[in-house]
Amino acid sequence: MFCRYCGSHIPDDSLFCAKCGKRLGPRENPRVAKIVRTLRLKTPYPYFALLLALFITWTIASRPTHADYSHLKWSFELDKKLDLPQENLFEQALSLVVSNTGGVGVREIPIELSARIEPPKRADVEADFLGRKLLILQQGHTLPLVVIVAGELLPGAKKRILLNGTIMAEPPFKVTYEVREEDRRPVLSSYVVERE
């Protein structure tokens, strides 16, 4: 037998190395060994199973719960519009207004913003939400956008979110902006832009 620390040749039944003095037997924590024997575990590390269970519990418990939309009222308001029909460009400065009619505050509300066009045609709709321009309709295909209405909305309070829409399409058309719950459930509010 050889010492695993210094490589010296030692007798097979040695517990310590005669040259370096290090312990050669299996390293075993007496407390862990007692727990393993008591619980009849097949692994010498019962703490791993405990840590894994705690991690799974923490992951499930810390998942964000769905927002309560039942006491929220949503609406669109048109602030300003700009039509340039010769360039097939139609812009709307909209406000998305949400009011809390419930008795508790609501924070971090996820919503899905989308647009659809009728009759179906190759058109683009761009939404400028919180300073970011993103396509929500590309070449006539809906590209829903999930955004978070940040902050807390206290009971009885209203929040106004500026939302600029740009439609690039050849008239006639009817574009419908829609706000839905995060999981594409019923429409919370919609706004129609029609051009002949």
pLDDT in tens, the chain (196 residues): 788 888 888 888 888 888 888 887 666 667 777 776 777 666 555 566 677 788 787 776 655 555 678 889 999 999 999 999 999 999 999 999 999 998 888 888 888 989 999 999 999 999 987 778 888 889 988 888 888 888 888 999 999 988 889 999 999 999 999 999 877 678 899 999 999 8
- Residues 146 and 52 grouped into a single domain: no
CA distance 144 to 179: 10
Q: Scan for tokens 């418990």, then name that residue.
A: 61
Q: Scan for tokens 């970011």, then name that residue.
A: 132
- Residues 140 and 85 grouped into a single domain: yes
Tell me the residue range of the domain where 142 lies: 72-195
- Residues 76 and 57 grouped into a single domain: no
- Residues 46 and 12 grouped into a single domain: yes
Distance of CA 175 to the CA centre of its chain: 28
AA identity, residue 69 = Y
CA distance 112 to 115: 10
